[in-house]
């Protein structure tokens, strides 16, 4: 059957062009004009009608079907000549073949910011619970009896012990700590964090104090006070941190809110985790017992040197009083370096520092990470000049022990309890 108007032969005889065997090309054919609407819809698709008659040819130019383009489609990628993918292909953007929409930078920045905040929040929460779980809350201040009234400032009793816990024989030799069993207080100081200014007060371990009535931390038995006078560090050796807090409170009248203690190994490890602590030493000194060998000037002390610096006493004429001043100076410098954005916001610095300190740091049962942070920032402010450091005022000695100046101590405690600027001076 001839489907072409004008009678095109169904065989290939008399055809020219590709596949033609004739010598001459056929002439141009004239396509009949088809008026719109003159062909039934079912015949416009190029199919036979229901009567079996051939449907007139539909060029497709009126319907967008040329080259297989879907109706309503567009040219170019996804719908044009050489790029059509058939029905169902979404049309290409109208503003240029193959062009992609401009990126929505506002949305991307918003999503990126939310992601960063979420990561930081998750890291912060994770760090909090990790560090909180490592804190050794071993001191129960509820066992301390006959306590003074609470004041307006937050007070910390910070203790450096000579505990060798966790140290190898090589560590003891390197750090010049000896191998004594048990532990004793090597340094003690009160840190008062106040709105009027922070004050750090060193308590010489040779201070002459009275052991009051107390309840044994392990036995629960009450031991009546007899007026017995001893060196302050003997209270710790007798019944640990709880009796030390009881003795300090009884002899000063100042309530201690929190207790923090660190041993030799922990102290040295914190310093090393920070990469050393920078310190200016006014006058060089040596001491065989502590291993100290320092020249004057600014220098960075590692853990071994730092421990020697805070333990040296025999190289100074003032002995323990000179040592407590060095301890204050170094702890303030340590806090100043630890409580910086470079350490706090850098996980590669924060985690090693927290890990080194929290493993050996012993605190009271009510101490939180926020309390610990407040303690460090208060120490930092002392180093920055916003606070005051001093020794407990001393008026003389008794049997080789240092006697506190009772009038000055009373005024010092009153100022701290009332959150007033400390004007009392120490030795």
Q: Which residues contact 56 (CB under 8 A, 6 or more apart)?
A: 5, 32, 34, 39, 43, 44
241 band by pLDDT with thresholds 50, 70 and 90:
very high
Q: What is the pLDDT of residue 198?
A: 94
Six-digit token string for 123: 């890291």
Q: What is the mean pLDDT of the chain?
A: 78
Cα angle, residue 43 at apex, residues 37 and 49 outer, rounded to 5°: 130
Higher-confidence position of 177 and 49: 177
Q: Which residue has the tokens 């030795």?
A: 427
Q: What is the pLDDT of residue 181?
A: 60
By CB atoms closer than 10 A (0-12, 13-18, 19+), residue 58 is middle
pLDDT tens string 150-204: 999 999 999 988 766 666 777 666 766 665 565 678 789 999 999 999 999 999 9
Higher-confidence position of 290 and 26: 290
pLDDT tens string 108-149: 787 777 887 777 677 667 777 777 788 899 999 999 999 999
Q: What is the pLDDT of residue 32?
A: 55
Separation of alpha carbons 143 and 322, rounded Å: 34
Six-digit token string for 8: 């095109």
Q: What is the DSSP letter of 68?
A: G
Beta strand residue intervals within 224-291, DSSP E: 229-231, 258-262, 277-281, 285-287
Angle of helix 264-273 relative to helix 303-311, nearest 10 degrees, comes to: 130
Q: Which residues contact 202 (CB under 8 A, 6 or more apart)?
A: 187, 188, 189, 324, 325, 327, 328, 389, 390, 391, 392, 426
Separation of alpha carbons 334 and 391, rounded Å: 19
Instruction: Report percent pLDDT > 90 for the chain.
Output: 39
Q: What is the pLDDT of residue 73?
A: 46
Average confidence (pLDDT) over 402-416: 96
Separation of alpha carbons 289 and 286, rounded Å: 9
318 band by pLDDT with thresholds 50, 70 and 90:
confident
Average confidence (pLDDT) over 75-93: 50
pTM: 0.68
242 band by pLDDT with thresholds 50, 70 and 90:
very high
């Amino acid at each position: 059957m001839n489907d072409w108007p004008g009678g095109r032969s169904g065989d290939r005889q008399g055809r020219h062009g590709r596949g033609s065997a004739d010598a001459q090309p056929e002439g141009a054919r004239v396509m009949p004009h088809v008026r719109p609407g003159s062909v039934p819809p079912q015949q416009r698709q190029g199919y036979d009608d229901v009567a079996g008659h051939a449907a007139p040819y539909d060029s497709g130019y009126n319907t967008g079907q040329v080259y297989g383009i879907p109706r309503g489609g567009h040219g170019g990628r996804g719908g044009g000549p050489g790029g059509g993918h058939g029905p169902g292909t979404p049309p290409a953007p109208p503003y240029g073949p193959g062009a992609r929409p401009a990126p929505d930078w506002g949305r991307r920045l918003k999503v990126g910011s939310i992601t960063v905040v979420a990561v930081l929040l998750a890291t912060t929460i994770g760090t909090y619970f990790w560090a909180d779980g490592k804190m050794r809350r071993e001191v129960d201040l509820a066992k301390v009896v006959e306590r003074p009234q609470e004041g307006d400032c937050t007070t910390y009793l910070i203790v450096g012990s000579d505990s060798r816990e966790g140290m190898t024989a090589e560590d003891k030799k390197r750090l010049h700590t000896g191998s004594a069993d048990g532990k004793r207080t090597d340094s003690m100081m009160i840190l008062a964090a106040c709105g009027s200014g922070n004050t750090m007060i060193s308590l010489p371990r040779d201070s002459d104090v009275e052991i009051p009535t107390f309840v044994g931390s392990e036995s629960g038995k009450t031991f009546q006070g007899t007026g017995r006078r001893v060196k302050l560090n003997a209270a710790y050796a007798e019944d640990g941190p709880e009796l030390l807090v009881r003795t300090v409170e009884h002899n000063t009248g100042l309530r201690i809110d929190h207790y923090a203690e660190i041993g030799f190994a922990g102290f040295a490890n914190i310093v090393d985790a920070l990469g050393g602590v920078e310190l200016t030493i006014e006058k060089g000194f040596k001491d065989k017992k502590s291993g100290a060998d320092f020249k004057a000037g600014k220098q960075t002390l590692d853990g071994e040197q730092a421990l020697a610096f805070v333990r040296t006493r025999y190289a100074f004429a003032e002995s323990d009083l000179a040592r407590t001043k060095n301890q204050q100076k170094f702890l303030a410098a340590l806090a100043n370096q630890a409580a910086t954005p470079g350490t706090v916001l850098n996980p590669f610095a924060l985690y090693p520092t927290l890990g080194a300190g929290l493993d050996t740091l012993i605190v009271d049962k009510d101490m939180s990470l926020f309390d610990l942070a407040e303690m460090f920032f208060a120490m930092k402010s002392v180093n920055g000049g916003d606070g005051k450091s001093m020794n407990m005022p001393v008026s003389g000695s008794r049997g080789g022990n240092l006697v506190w100046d009772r009038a000055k101590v009373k005024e010092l405690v009153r100022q701290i309890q009332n959150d007033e600027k400390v004007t009392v001076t120490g030795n």
